[in-house]
């Protein structure tokens, strides 16, 4: 056991440094996300969701770095990650749609000019309603409450594709 530590001392130290950097990065990104949320008056649930996305991404990058430090070839790591994502994609069937909605959710978090409680009009001829109030903004969809009291879920990727007018008052 001691000889193992002697042989891999450098890898162990670098791994510990990377894990400490992971903890620091997660803390910094969390603090930044909550700072943005406070300045833009973003819902706390959306901020928690964004922090979760950022933490997942950072964790994957750290895992990739640790595997490289321990001598795993980059192409082997690529095969591992692509295999995992292929299985997830098959399991979720329409992964492109899910990823586009999650990506749109991240974009909406940082660059969306509307917030929960705003009254909006989505300029889409296929919608059966004229005006709605934003009830919630989730990872995959935006919940809208129509003037008739119906709760409508609208996919995030369509929110980015359609023109939206904010109704004042």
Strands (E), 11-162: 119-123, 132-137, 141-146, 151-155
Higher per-residue pLDDT: 31 or 95: 31
Strands (E), the chain: 119-123, 132-137, 141-146, 151-155, 163-167
Higher per-residue pLDDT: 5 or 114: 114
pLDDT tens track for 107-127: 777 777 788 888 988 887 777
Higher per-residue pLDDT: 20 or 72: 20
Which residues fall within 8 angstroms of residue 59, CB to CB, at 6 or more apart? 22
Provide the mean pLDDT of the chain: 82
Crossing angle, helix 95-111 and helix 44-69, to 10 degrees?
120
Higher per-residue pLDDT: 151 or 100: 151
**H or E stretch covering 112:** none
% of the chain at pLDDT higher than 90: 11
The whole-number pLDDT of residue 20 equals 94
pLDDT tens track for 140-163: 888 999 888 899 888 888 888 888
What is the number of other CB atoms lying within 10 angstroms of the CB of residue 114? Answer: 15
Which residues fall within 8 angstroms of residue 164, CB to CB, at 6 or more apart? 114, 120, 121, 122, 123
> For residue 23, what pLDDT band results from cuts at 50, 70 and 90?
very high
Give, in words, the CATH class of 114-167.
mainly beta
């Amino acid at each position: 056991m001691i000889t193992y530590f002697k042989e891999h001392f450098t890898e162990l130290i670098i791994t510990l440094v990377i894990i400490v950097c992971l903890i620091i990065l997660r803390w910094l990104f969390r603090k930044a996300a909550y700072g943005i949320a406070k300045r833009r008056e973003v819902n706390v649930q959306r901020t928690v969701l964004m922090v979760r996305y950022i933490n997942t991404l950072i964790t994957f990058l750290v895992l990739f770095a640790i595997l490289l430090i321990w001598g795993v070839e980059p192409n082997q790591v690529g095969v591992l990650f692509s295999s995992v994502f292929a299985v997830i994609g098959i399991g979720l069937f329409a992964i492109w749609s899910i990823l586009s909605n999650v990506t749109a959710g991240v974009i909406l978090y940082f660059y969306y000019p509307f917030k929960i409680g705003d009254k909006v009009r989505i300029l889409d001829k296929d919608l059966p309603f004229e005006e709605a109030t934003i009830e919630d903004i989730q990872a995959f969809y935006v919940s809208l409450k129509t003037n008739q009291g119906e709760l409508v879920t609208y996919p995030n990727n369509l929110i980015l594709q359609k023109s939206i007018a904010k109704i004042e008052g």
